[in-house]
């Protein structure tokens, strides 16, 4: 079991590195497309997804910086608060993304009016404020404990933070599942959504990506529920039980990285149009054109050289 835990820990570390690199590329690529006003990409689903990747990337950077600093330094305090925020915000963002797909299927005629840029910005601000509102309900004591300020009964408050986080994410998970299942069922009755047009195929793939994200998010919450519910109990566990609980935490951390990595790759390769734009961004198209030109020249040179050889052989035969 110890070997499995070590493998999970190492795998989670290297997966986090790959995920961070892909996230940075995703953020840069889609931000450029937003500025260029790419009609296919410039939509609420991609805006919110990009913001989600930005939060996760900042949390990775914060962890890297704080690991090199003292735990009681300003970097350590900021990391404590931001890690709590970044993990808790996963739930509300999952809900709003699932809601976006639900409205795209059920209210497809009014979808553009529901998700205008201004309304999307308003929805996003509301979602981002959810962790702060939860904290305010407890007079900001959880945040003061995370900042390691001298607050009475901080041990009890930290246990409460874990419970609040667990039940908030659990509620968001249930809402996301209901919305996703509702979206899948509604596709059977939406004739426009079931068309063969490019937009219909694009919407189908976005729904598929949302379904996969919801499934993986549900698995993360199940692991988090198991870990949190055991961590807050004041029970003496055996070494094997502690190791098993740590394994669940490692599996949860690995699943989080896989969630962001798979979401990024699926959105980058969501359609042929997006893939072509991606290849142009990577200059792959220019390399392909250059290679095709070189290949054509090589073929012409081979044909010319073969003709020369045939002519020389025929000339020798004539002389003989």
Poorest-confidence range of 30-44, 138-152, 221-235? Answer: 138-152
pLDDT digits (tens, 9 = 90+) for 151-188: 556 666 666 777 778 888 999 999 999 999 999 998 88
- Tokens at residue 291, please? 């290679």
Nearest CA among 101, 114, 113, 125 for reference residue 51:
125
Distance (Å, whole) CA 309 – CA 315: 10
- Would you say the pTM of this structure is higher than 0.75? yes
pLDDT over 70 (residue 64): yes
Nearest CA among 4, 29, 40 for reference residue 264:
29
pLDDT over 70 (residue 269): yes
Radius of gyration of the chain (CA): 27
DSSP one-letter code for 184: H
Cα-based angle 173, 177, 183 (whole degrees, multiple of 5):
145
DSSP one-letter code for 89: T
Distance (Å, whole) CA 69 – CA 202: 45
Q: Under a CB-based contact definition with an 8 Å cutoff, are residues 168 and 134 in contact? A: yes
Distance (Å, whole) CA 42 – CA 249: 36
Cα-based angle 29, 265, 81 (whole degrees, multiple of 5):
80
Averaged pLDDT, 10-19: 86
pLDDT over 60 (residue 19): yes
- Tokens at residue 162, please? 């874990």
pLDDT digits (tens, 9 = 90+) for 138-156: 555 666 666 655 555 666 6
Averaged pLDDT, 189-196: 72
Q: Under a CB-based contact definition with an 8 Å cutoff, are residues 245 and 231 in contact? A: yes
């Amino acid at each position: 079991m110890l070997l499995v835990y070590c493998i999970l820990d190492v795998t989670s570390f290297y997966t986090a590195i790959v995920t961070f690199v892909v996230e940075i590329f995703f953020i840069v690529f889609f931000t450029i497309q937003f500025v260029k006003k790419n009609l296919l990409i410039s939509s609420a689903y991609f805006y919110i997804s990009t913001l989600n990747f930005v939060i996760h990337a900042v949390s990775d950077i914060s962890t890297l910086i704080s690991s090199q600093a003292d735990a009681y330094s300003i970097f350590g305090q900021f990391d404590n608060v931001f890690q709590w925020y970044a993990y808790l915000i996963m739930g509300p963002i999952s809900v709003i993304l699932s809601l976006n797909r639900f409205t795209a299927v059920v209210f497809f005629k009014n979808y553009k009016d529901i998700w205008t840029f201004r309304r999307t910005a308003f929805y996003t601000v509301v979602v981002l404020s959810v962790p702060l509102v939860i904290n305010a309900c407890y007079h900001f004591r959880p945040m003061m404990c995370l900042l390691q300020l001298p607050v009475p009964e901080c041990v009890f408050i930290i246990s409460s933070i874990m419970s609040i986080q667990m039940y908030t994410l659990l509620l968001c998970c249930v809402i996301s599942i209901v919305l996703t299942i509702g979206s899948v069922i509604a596709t059977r009755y939406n004739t426009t959504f079931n068309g063969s047009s490019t937009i219909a195929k694009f919407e189908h793939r976005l729904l598929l990506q949302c379904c996969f994200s919801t499934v993986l998010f549900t698995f993360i919450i199940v692991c988090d529920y198991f870990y949190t519910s055991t961590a807050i109990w004041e029970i003496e566990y055996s070494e094997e039980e502690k190791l098993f609980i740590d394994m669940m935490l490692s599996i949860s951390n690995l699943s989080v990285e896989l969630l962001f990595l798979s979401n990024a790759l699926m959105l980058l390769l969501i359609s042929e149009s997006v893939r072509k734009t991606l290849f142009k961004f990577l200059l792959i198209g220019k390399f392909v054109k250059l290679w095709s030109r070189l290949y054509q020249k090589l073929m012409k040179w081979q044909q010319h050289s073969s003709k020369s050889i045939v002519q020389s052989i025929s000339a020798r035969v004539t002389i003989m």
